[in-house]
Structure 1
Amino acid sequence: MHSSARRLLVRAQYLPLALAAVYALILLVFTVPAVQDEFVFLQRLRLPLAAKYDNPEHYGLAPYKTRNLRIETPDGEVLGLWHILPQSVYIAQDPFPPSMRPRDSFFDKAFGSRPTILYFHGNAATRAASHRVRTYIEMSSRLDVNVIAVDYRGFGDSTGTPSQQGLVIDARTVWDWVQARVERASIKPADQQIMLVGHSLGTGVASALAAELADGGLHPRAIALIAPFTSIPDLLSSLWLFGIIPLLTPLKAIPGAIDYFKTHVVQRFNSSEALSRTTSPMLLLHSFDDPIIPHYHSVNLFQQLNSPNGTQLESSIRDFSYPGWGRVTYAEVADREVVFWEGESGGHNSLGHSEGTMDLMAWIGKL
């Protein structure tokens, strides 16, 4: 055998060892809390670049339909958010289209005219990201609701550094801000006028907020979770980095290894536990082809909502199949509606603004 070929064979023998070393290094790096935070939140990807938050029309929203706001949290951070008017309120202006942005008092009065959706986005990018703006447009127009789209601390033009505790504080701050205005503009109970919608990471935020509100006797009008997960540790155990590197799957060969690694996860967002504490009607939306969060996370959430503490509650379950679109499973559990849509397509970012899923949001929120 040629000497160069022998050298290649010798080197090839060390390839598995080198790959194992790289994998071990990746795992070691992921045990560092700061690295985990960067990966979970990806807040430094502030797309679009140099966003014009005070000019939402630049991103496709109708002229003067949206106001840009900044509100302060109890711990001193400042959050950037948009308030988009319901379509019926917007087109009722005289003259129409409006020649200038309405006063804040006009926007505040809109909270008494139609329900409000608090929208909590996923990781990376900002409230001006194109797929998120499409969602606001569909919600405000098709559902005819107020939409509040907030950038968490560290995202967009908001101050601070993200953490699970911080994001929940941000969500509660936005809830309190809206609740105060709903109470001034409407005679109906404020919590029954506010619906929570979360996407991806935002489903963990919405779930945690719902649990905190439930502990205080408040239950939102409805909760819609788009591509949710059971918890961050569970998500990491099934995650493929960049779609090609399994993060924890190889550890299945070592008894207890995955569970040990999961104990080092700092940002946990345990949606399964949080959702068990609220009685709000709930909608789960997930597509089979989601490349980021596996569809079975929603399957597990749906099963857990129907069987809290491992005990099957008496429930009425109906299943509807729509070839080419997906399957809708409807359950009434302990006087609460839980609806689960399993889509044949939609990926991770597109299903939140499609017509069919908007109709399901209207159904669960009685909009």
Structure 2
Amino acid sequence: MLPAIQTYTIFAHHVDVWGYSKFEHPEHYGLAPGKTVNMNLTSSDNTTIGAWFIFSDSFYRTLPHPHLHTHLGPGTSATHDSIQATSRAYIPSALQTTPTLLFLHGNTGTRAHKLRTGIYSSLTARLGANILAIDYRGFGDSSGHPTVQGVGRDARAGFDYLLQHGAKPQDVLIVGHSLGTAIAGLLASELGRENLRYRGVILMSPFSSIRTLLDQYYLLGFLPLFKPLAKVPLMPRFISWSLKHGFDTLSLVPDIKEDVLIAHAEDDWDIPHSHSDALFDAFRDLGLAAKDNSTVSTTRITGYGTFSQTKVGSRNVALLKTERGGHDLGKVEGVQDTIGRLFGLYNP
């Protein structure tokens, strides 16, 4: 498969059916004025990365509201630039006092996609956490072209920004969705190899490896992208051999050192939930190989799903499989509550 076709198929970074382009105006996409700061980060190879910092609801309510900028004087109004500047000045305080989610989205679209902005609103309210949402290189207003190494650098740029501006490592929770789970795995394993702490990692609707996914992925839930090619002699082997973007979260499991939540809906028509089973089993097998007491406890909630948990060394590893939720699992309230309870974010 030609490298260019691989890139467009896996990342789909130029597919933006909603046509979002005004990243400097997060309010256009349903976010409260002054709650979101538009910014650019710089990756380690000098690639410019577009990002939004979204305050938790609890912290946002302590900020001067744009309607109440009494320092402006009578008859004047707050400009967009003044609102952004005021909010930006509070980011260090927010990072020092409130946990933060580093949100790594899936392929297609940008950080301004309406499904993603809805998730930001829910998480900042229900969990009382800030969010840093980045667009990888080639997505949205970010420069460059996506590669495995490149998007890994972009995720690290987001993590480093949070620490440089006041966040404690143990207050940063890495959250990946779909393609973003592979990128979250890259970041989490890199931090593990460097013995850098973080609060944990969440893999929502993950795939175990791109090679396994290729013959199972359904674009838009019903178009089998590569399955027809499996009937061509030697084609699966050729596709595997020619892969340019070899995401493989399974191989990174030993280096992911902090607590892990894997979440998947059984009615996900994009990525089969068997990928989450494979990842959970890989963590469990790691515990067995180390002769840990890796007993799995499982609880079933009728009408909702199954929650399994085990201990692997010092880390807790959990698998949440819901009966419903589709591919965009982050919008499910029960999933959000599980995140809050497992990682000490729950805001009752």
The answer to which of 233-242 and 154-163 deviates more is 233-242
Distance 1:192 1:97, change over 3 A: farther
Q: Which has the larger Rg?
A: 1
After superposition, the CA RMSD in angstroms is 2.1
Amino acid at match of 1:163: T
Contact kept in structure 1, 2:34 and 2:65, CA below 8 Å: no
Unaligned runs of 5+ residues in structure 1 are 1-30, 184-189
TM superposition shift of 1:241: 5.5
Q: Deviations for 1:66-95, whole angstroms, at most 9, x for unmatched residues? A: 110012222121111000011111112345
Aligned to 1:6: none
TM superposition shift of 1:261: 3.0
Q: Deviations for 1:96-127, whole angstroms, at most 9, x for unmatched residues? A: 86545224221221100111100000000000
SS in 2 for 1:108: helix
Counterpart-to-counterpart distance in 1, 2:132 and 2:114: 16
Counterpart-to-counterpart distance in 2, 1:139 and 1:115: 12
Counterpart-to-counterpart distance in 2, 1:68 and 1:143: 22
Amino acid at match of 2:279: L
Distance 1:95 1:137, change over 3 A: closer
Contact kept in structure 2, 1:219 and 1:278, CA below 8 Å: no
Distance 1:244 1:130, change over 3 A: closer
Q: 1:215 aligns with which of 193, 197, 202?
A: 193
Q: Deviations for 1:10-54, whole angstroms, at most 9, x for unmatched residues? A: xxxxxxxxxxxxxxxxxxxxx111111110000111343142111
Contact kept in structure 2, 1:222 and 1:364, CA below 8 Å: no
Counterpart-to-counterpart distance in 2, 1:103 and 1:65: 7
Please tell me whether residue 45 in structure 1 is matched to residue 23 in structure 2: no
Counterpart-to-counterpart distance in 1, 2:226 and 2:185: 25
Q: Write the mapping of 1:91-240 to structure 2, written as runs, cut at 5 A.
A: 91-94=61-64, 99=69, 101=83, 102-182=86-166, 190-240=168-218
Q: Deviations for 1:133-155, whole angstroms, at most 9, x for unmatched residues? A: 01111111111111000011110
Q: Deviations for 1:181-205, whole angstroms, at most 9, x for unmatched residues? A: 125xxxxxx2211100000000000
TM superposition shift of 1:280: 0.8
Counterpart-to-counterpart distance in 2, 1:105 and 1:238: 46
Counterpart-to-counterpart distance in 2, 1:85 and 1:95: 13
Aligned to 2:297: 318
Distance 1:259 1:303, change over 3 A: farther
Contact kept in structure 2, 1:286 and 1:342, CA below 8 Å: yes
TM superposition shift of 1:246: 6.1
Counterpart-to-counterpart distance in 2, 1:324 and 1:98: 46
Distance 1:250 1:46, change over 3 A: closer
Aligned to 2:73: none
SS in 2 for 1:316: coil
Counterpart-to-counterpart distance in 2, 1:353 and 1:152: 22
- Provide the aligned length of Structure 1 versus Structure 2: 329
| Identity in percent | 32
TM superposition shift of 1:165: 0.8
Q: 1:54 aligns with which of 14, 18, 24?
A: 24
Whose RCO is larger (CA < 8 A, sep 6+)?
A: 2
Please tell me whether residue 273 in structure 1 is matched to residue 251 in structure 2: yes
Contact kept in structure 1, 2:287 and 2:312, CA below 8 Å: no
Please tell me whether residue 88 in structure 1 is matched to residue 67 in structure 2: no
Aligned to 2:336: 358
Counterpart-to-counterpart distance in 2, 1:33 and 1:309: 37
Counterpart-to-counterpart distance in 1, 2:27 and 2:137: 23
Counterpart-to-counterpart distance in 2, 1:44 and 1:87: 32
SS in 2 for 1:119: strand
Counterpart-to-counterpart distance in 1, 2:267 and 2:343: 26
